[in-house]
């Protein structure tokens, strides 16, 4: 379980814990899905507009997805928001890009 230490007082540390929890949620969700591409790398160092990133390594090149693969993509993308809600007891705007991607995929 993630707990904020008494020594964590500044907002930067609290934000970093939130980003780490969010990215870990993606990784756990993706790892638990049977046909999802494996997690390759996770970063909580801000890059551009992203506060953190979880990269997957495609098993094979493909230009199409089955319905089940789309479902697994959606579950993996929402894993970060779910982790925030479960472990931090709050959600943030950090998942806005994930929600945009899920919406496009679901259409």
Q: Specify whether 23 is catalytic.
A: yes
Question: Residues, the chain, total?
Answer: 107
Catalytic residue among 23, 60, 69, 84: 23
Residue 35: both structure tokens together: 């046909």
CA distance 44 to 50: 9
For residue 79, give both structure tokens.
């894993």
* Contact between residue 3 and residue 88 where contact means Cβ atoms under 8 Å apart: no
| Catalytic residue ranges | 23
């Amino acid at each position: 379980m993630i707990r904020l230490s008494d020594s964590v007082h500044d907002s930067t540390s609290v934000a970093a814990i939130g980003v780490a929890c969010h990215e870990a949620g993606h990784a756990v969700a993706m790892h638990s899905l049977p046909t999802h591409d494996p997690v390759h790398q996770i970063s909580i160092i801000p890059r551009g507009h992203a506060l953190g990133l979880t990269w997957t390594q495609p098993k094979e090149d493909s230009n199409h997805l089955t319905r089940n693969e789309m479902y697994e993509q959606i579950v993996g993308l929402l894993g970060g928001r779910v982790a925030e809600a479960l472990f931090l007891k709050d959600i943030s705007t950090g998942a806005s890009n994930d929600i945009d991607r899920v919406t496009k995929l679901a259409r």
